[in-house]
C-alpha cells in the first residue's frame, strides 16, 4: 500500500510503502537527501489484514483550519480532511518533571525553556474542546509531570466545572506516592482516572527506562490513591523489547489482584525519538501484535490473541446510541492499526475474555444494521431501541454457559439502553480493560493513521492537533511560541 510518511532526519513528507514480507508488515521510504529507512509496521501479517477490515469514516467534530492547502499534517487543525472527532484530549500543563527518564527529550531541563500555559489559556483550551460536536468527553492532563504544576487541583476543578464527564492525569505517580491527602484532594476536585506510568512488576525495567528503581513508588502511589478514595488507576507500561516484554502477563495479573482500583492496563509500545540507528530500533521495536502474542503466552492462553479487536471495532455501538438518542456521540473511528483492546472478567485469578461468551462480531453487525433501521423508523426511536435492547434479543449474542456469574444480558442492556457513562462504569468495575496503542514516531509514521487520530492535543493558540502529529511535527514550535527561556526565568 502506498502512503506518505516522514523523513526521520529532516521531517520532510516523503512517499512510503507499507508491504508484507516474511509474515510481517514493513514500511520503507526514501528521502532524496537522507537515504532509505525501513522499519517494522506490524509484526504479524494475518492480524494486520484482519484489523484492516475494520474501517469507519468519521468527521472532525470541529473545524479550525478551514482549508487543507498545506497538506496533512501541516494544516492541523483540525482541518476538514480529518476523519475522527476527539475521543480523548491531552493538555500539557508543564514541561517540568520530577523524574529524569533517560529516554525523554521533552523536559524543561533538556529543552532549555519552560512551557506552562496560563490558567486563562487553559480555560480557553478546555472551552474549545467542550464546543466540539459532540463535546469532547475526556481530558487528560499531561506534561512533563502535570502534578507538579502549581494549582493542579484547581485545574482539575476547572475541567469539572466545564463539564468534562471524564478527567484523567498521566503521571509518574511520585506526587501520589508522597501524599494520600493529595490523592484525596484530587478525588474531591473531580479527578476520575490516574494514568500511571508502570513499566513492570520488577525493578529492572525502571532502572533502564526511568533511571532509578521506581517500583516501590508505583506501589505506594496505588495504595495512596486507594486510601484517598480515587476509584480508577490505569497502568501504562512503555513496552520495549528486551526490557519488559517478559512481564506483560505479570502486569495484567498484578492489575487483576488490584481490581478494586486498577481498571486496566494500556500498553504503549516504545516510540523512538531523534535519530536512532536501525540496529538499535530493531533491538527495541515492539508492535501491537507482539504485545498480544506475549500476553497469550504469558497467561497460558487464558487471554488468547483472538480476544483482541482494533479500537474502531466498537464504532457501531456509538452509531446505535446516536441513532436512538438523536444526539451525536463520540465515535471511535481511529485507524485500525493504531490500537487494540479487549475486556476480561477476573474470577479467582482466572481470566475470561468477553469474546469467550459474547459473539462480539455478530453483536456489532446487528447494532450497525439496527442503527440504520432506527434512523428510518416511524414508530418512535425510543420504542424501537427499547425493543432491540430487550434481553430476549440481546441474549442471543451471549453464551450463558460460558459467561461469568456477574455477567448477563442485563449488563449489556443497561449499557446500550442507557447509553451513558454510568452504565459503562458499572461494567468497568467488574472487568479489566487491556489495550495497546502504538504511538507513531518518524520511522513508522503513516499519514493515513494520523488523519484518523482521535487523541488530540489542545494548544494555547486554540488549535486541536492529533497526538502523533503534535509529537512528531508541531511540539517544538507550539512550545517555543508559548514558553519562556529558562535563562530569562533565572535572571528575572
Ligand atoms: S492530521 Fe488531521 S487535522 Fe491535521 S492536517 Fe491531517 S487531516 Fe488535517
Ligand atoms: S495518537 Fe497516534 S496512535 Fe493513537 S490514534 Fe492518534 S495517530 Fe493513532
Region 167-191: mean pLDDT is 98
Percent of the chain at pLDDT > 90 equals 65
Q: Is 483 contained in some domain?
A: no
User: In the prediction, which pLDDT does 367 show?
Assistant: 86
Query: Is 337 within the bounds of a domain?
Result: yes
pLDDT in tens, 74-104: 888 899 899 999 999 999 999 999 998 887 7
How many domains is the chain partitioned into structurally?
A: 1
Q: Is residue 272 part of a domain?
A: no
Quick one: average pLDDT of 162-176? 97
What is the CA(486)–ligand 1 centre distance, in A?
Answer: 32
222 CA to middle of ligand 1, Å? 37
CA of residue 58 to ligand 1 center, whole Å: 13
In a domain, 328, yes or no: yes
Ligand in nearest proximity to the CA of 465: 1
Ligand 1 centroid to 437 CA: how many Å? 19
Q: Is the CB of 465 under 6 A from ligand 2?
A: no
State the ligand closest to the CA atom of 77: 1
Nearest CA to ligand 2 atom 6: 453
Q: Is 436 in the pocket of ligand 2 (CB under 6 A)?
A: no
Q: What's the pTM? A: 0.93
**Higher-pLDDT residue of 278, 343:** 343
Could you tell me the pLDDT band of residue 282, with boundaries at 50, 70 and 90?
confident
Specify the pLDDT at position 45: 96
Q: Which ligand is nearest to the CA of 449?
A: 2
pLDDT digits (tens, 9 = 90+) for 151-166: 999 999 999 999 999 9
Using the mean position of ligand 1's atoms as its centre, give its distance from the Cα of residue 70 in Å. Answer: 10
In which domain, by residue range, is 386 found?
Answer: 303-437
> Residue 262 domain-assigned?
no
Residue 341, domain member (yes or no): yes
Q: Is 220 within the bounds of a domain?
A: no
Q: Is 353 part of a structural domain of the chain? A: yes
Q: Tell me, letter by letter, the H, E, C secondary structure of the chain.
A: CEEEEECCCCCCEEEEEEEEECCEEEEEEEECCCEEEEEEEECCHHHHHHHHCCCCCCCCCCCCCCCCCCCCCCCCECCCCCCCCCCEEEEEEECCCCCCCCCCCCCHHHHCEEECCCHHHHHHHHHHHHCCCCCCCEEEEEECCHHHCCCHHHHHHHHHHCCCCEEEEEECCHHHHHCHHHHHHHHHHCCCEEEEECCCCCCHHHHHHCCCCCHHHHHHHHHHHHHHCCCCEEEECEECCCCCCCCHHHHHHHHHHCCCCEEEEEEEECCCCCCCCHHHHHHHCCCHHHHHHHHHHHCCCCCCHHHCEEHHHHHHHHHHHHHHHCCCCCCCCCCCCCEEEEEEEEECCEEEEHHHCECHHHHHHHHHHHHHHHHHCCCCHHHHHHHHCCHHHHHHHECCCCCCCCCCHHHHHHHHHHCCHHHHHHHHHHEEEEEEECCCCCCCCCHHHHCCCCEEEECCCCCEEEHHHHHHHHHHHHHHHCEEEHHHHHHC
Q: Which residue's alpha carbon is at the smallest distance from atom 6 of ligand 1?
A: 72
Amino acid at each position: 500500500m502506498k502512503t506518505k510518511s516522514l523523513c526521520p532526519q529532516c521531517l520532510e513528507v516523503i512517499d512510503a510503502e507499507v508491504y508484507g514480507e516474511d509474515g510481517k508488515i514493513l514500511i520503507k521510504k526514501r528521502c532524496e537527501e537522507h537515504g532509505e529507512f525501513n522499519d517494522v509496521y506490524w509484526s504479524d501479517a494475518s492480524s494486520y489484514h484482519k484489523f484492516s477490515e475494520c474501517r469507519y469514516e468519521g468527521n472532525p467534530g470541529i473545524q479550525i483550519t478551514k482549508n487543507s492547502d498545506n497538506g496533512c499534517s501541516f494544516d492541523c487543525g483540525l482541518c476538514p480532511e480529518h476523519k475522527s472527532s476527539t475521543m480523548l484530549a491531552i493538555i500539557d500543563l508543564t514541561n517540568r518533571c520530577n523524574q529524569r527518564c533517560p529516554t525523554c527529550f521533552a523536559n524543561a531541563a533538556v529543552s532549555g525553556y519552560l512551557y506552562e500555559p496560563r490558567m486563562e489559556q487553559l480555560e480557553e483550551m478546555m472551552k474549545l474542546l467542550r464546543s466540539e460536536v459532540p463535546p469532547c468527553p475526556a481530558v487528560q492532563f499531561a506534561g512533563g509531570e502535570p502534578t507538579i504544576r502549581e494549582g493542579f487541583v484547581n485545574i482539575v476543578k476547572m475541567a469539572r466545572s466545564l463539564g468534562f464527564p471524564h478527567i484523567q492525569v498521566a503521571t509518574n505517580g511520585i506526587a501520589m506516592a508522597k501524599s494520600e491527602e493529595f490523592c484525596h484532594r484530587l478525588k474531591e476536585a473531580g479527578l476520575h482516572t490516574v494514568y500511571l506510568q508502570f513499566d513492570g512488576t520488577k525493578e529492572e525495567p525502571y532502572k533502564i527506562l526511568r533511571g532509578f528503581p521506581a517500583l516501590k513508588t508505583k506501589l505506594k502511589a496505588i495504595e495512596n490513591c486507594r486510601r484517598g478514595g480515587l476509584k480508577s488507576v490505569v497502568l501504562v507500561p512503555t513496552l520495549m523489547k528486551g526490557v519488559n516484554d517478559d512481564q506483560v502477563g505479570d502486569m495484567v495479573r498484578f492489575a487483576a489482584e488490584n481490581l478494586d482500583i486498577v481498571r486496566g492496563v494500556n500498553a504503549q509500545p516504545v516510540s523512538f525519538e531523534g535519530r536512532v540507528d536501525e540496529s538499535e530500533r530493531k533491538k527495541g521495536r515492539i508492535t501491537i501484535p507482539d504485545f498480544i502474542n506475549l500476553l497469550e503466552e504469558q497467561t497460558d492462553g487464558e487471554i488468547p490473541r483472538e480476544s483482541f479487536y482494533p479500537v474502531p471495532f466498537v464504532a457501531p455501538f456509538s452509531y446505535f446510541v446516536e441513532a436512538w438518542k438523536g444526539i451525536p456521540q463520540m465515535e471511535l473511528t481511529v485507524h485500525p492499526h493504531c490500537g487494540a483492546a479487549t475486556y476480561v472478567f477476573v474470577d479467582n485469578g482466572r481470566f475470561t475474555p468477553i469474546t469467550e461468551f459474547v459473539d462480539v462480531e455478530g453483536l456489532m453487525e446487528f447494532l450497525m444494521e439496527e442503527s440504520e433501521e432506527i434512523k428510518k423508523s416511524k414508530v418512535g426511536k425510543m420504542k424501537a431501541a427499547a425493543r432491540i435492547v430487550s434481553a430476549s434479543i440481546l441474549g442471543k449474542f451471549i453464551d450463558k454457559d460460558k459467561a461469568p456469574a456477574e455477567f448477563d444480558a442485563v449488563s449489556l442492556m443497561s449499557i446500550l439502553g442507557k447509553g451513558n457513562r454510568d452504565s459503562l462504569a458499572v461494567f468497568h468495575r467488574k472487568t479489566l480493560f487491556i489495550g495497546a496503542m502504538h504511538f507513531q514516531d518518524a520511522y513508522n509514521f503513516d499519514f493515513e493513521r494520523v488523519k484518523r487520530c482521535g487523541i488530540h492535543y489542545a494548544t494555547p493558540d486554540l488549535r486541536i492537533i492529533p497526538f502523533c502529529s503534535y509529537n512528531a511535527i508541531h511540539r517544538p514550535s507550539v512550545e517555543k511560541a508559548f514558553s519562556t527561556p529558562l535563562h530569562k526565568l533565572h535572571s528575572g
